[in-house]
Amino acid sequence: MKKKVLAILICAMMALSLTSCGGTDDNTAADTYNVGICQLVQHVALDSATQGFKDALTEKLGDQVTFDEQNASGDIPTCSIICNQFVSSGVDLIMANATPALQAAQTSTSEIPILGTSVTDYGTALGIDDFNGVTGTNISGTSDLAPLDEQAAMLQELFPDAKNVGILYCSAEPNSKYQYKVVKGHLEDMGYTVKEYTFSDSNDVQTVTTLAASECDVIYLPTDNTVASNAEIIKNVCVPAGVPIIAGEEGICAGCGVATLSISYYDLGYATGLMAYEILANGADPAAMEIEYAPQFTKKYNAEICETLGVTIPDDYVAIEE
């Protein structure tokens, strides 16, 4: 009889043990993740990328993910403060929106996974020579680089008789410098005279833009966060001067340009969110994850500014929605 009771007790303990193991699996499936978001500045492109990122992760993880979303208001040193706070609080992943945010995150940690978005060239941003598409570090992400040769071709298509092209950008943004060099080469091959106009921060935008507008037939604006934040100032200089602008992205074009080769920053952020899910939920290694690029580009134009400047747009361009 005692043996029978002992056997029953052992079976009960084994069943309880199996139930306990099952409970551990459920808890693992219900892990929660805290994601820090460092966004350089508030403007439509970066805002859309952040929203896409959050939407993708929320759709995948529901209430298992929380976000600590911080905006540096255009101040680069503040990006470092934000990222260091993320490291101190032990976030599971950092999403860095724009190049200065990515550089701050890179400096703050080599352990916590980092995903960038709205970053043009990762090799330039991270100081990687002979960049081959993967960083080999705790960093990966998505790039907002539109084909720069096609941007130059757009300028030629719309303004074939122009002689002098100014490229205007912030000297504090290394990816803007990269775009300048590439676009300059394409435009010079097409026979244009190209001149560089740079400002170090928002305080010099109006002065430098005024000089560029007085010396150039057309201005090209690369994907540049300081430019995006000061599009209204640039518009108020260039439109009265009758100088058209080809912009590197849709948000800038909507503010002051005539045309752009556009990507969806929301889709870019969404793709970044899917990468974050693979890292958090499935253990993917950012060191081996290739940088992803926008899958398609659309020729778009600013109807209001085109009408004001008398610019004729081909039929295959799409008007930017107001």
Whichever domain contains 212, its CATH number is: 3.40.50.2300
Asked if the structure places residue 211 within a domain, the reply is: yes
Sheet holding 93-97, edge to edge: 65-71, 33-39, 93-97, 114-119, 139-143, 292-293
Q: Are residues 160 and 309 in the same domain?
A: yes
Asked if residue 38 belongs to a domain, the reply is: yes
In a domain, 5, yes or no: no
DSSP 255: H
Q: Are residues 258 and 268 in the same domain?
A: no
Residue 171 and residue 45 share a domain = no
Q: What per-residue confidence (pLDDT) applies to 30?
A: 62
In a domain, 24, yes or no: no
Count of CA atoms in the C-beta half-sphere (13 A) of 148: 22
CB proximity list for 180: less than 8 A, separation 6 or greater: 167, 169, 196, 222
pTM of structure: 0.79
Same domain, 68 and 195: no
Say if residue 134 is in the same domain as residue 55.
yes
Residue 13 belongs to some domain of the structure: no
- 221, 197 Cβ separation under 8 angstroms: no
Are both 187 and 118 inside the same structural domain? no
Please state, in angstroms and rounded to a whole number, the distance separating the CA atoms of residues 59 and 47: 18
Same domain, 241 and 217: yes
> Is the same domain home to 179 and 218?
yes
Within-domain flag for 62:
yes
Contact 57, 276 (CB under 8 A): yes
The DSSP code for 321 is P
**Edge to edge, what strands does the sheet with 245-247 contain?**
193-199, 164-170, 218-221, 245-247, 259-262, 298-301, 318-319
Query: In the numeric block, which tokens belong to residue 60?
Result: 């995948």
Task: Tell me the residue range of the domain where 155 lies.
Answer: 148-262+298-319
Q: Looking at the structure, tell me whether residues 169 and 114 fall in a common domain.
A: no
- Answer yes or no: do 129 and 53 share one domain: yes
Written as six digits, the tokens of 93 are 């992943």
Residue-by-residue pLDDT tens, the chain, 322 positions: 444 444 444 444 444 444 444 333 343 456 899 999 999 999 889 999 999 999 999 999 999 999 999 999 999 999 999 999 999 999 999 999 999 999 999 999 999 999 999 999 999 999 998 899 999 999 999 999 889 999 999 999 999 999 999 999 999 998 899 999 999 999 999 999 999 999 998 999 999 999 999 999 999 999 999 999 999 999 999 999 999 999 999 999 999 999 999 889 999 999 999 999 999 999 999 999 999 998 889 999 999 999 999 999 999 999 998 7
Q: Do residue 123 and residue 185 come from a single domain?
A: no
Q: Are residues 67 and 129 in the same domain?
A: yes
In a domain, 253, yes or no: yes
Q: Per the domain annotation, does 279 fall within a domain?
A: yes
- CA distances to 75, 137, 184, 272 from 268, rounded to whole Å, are 23, 21, 26, 6
Q: What is the pLDDT of residue 146?
A: 86
Number of domains within the chain: 2
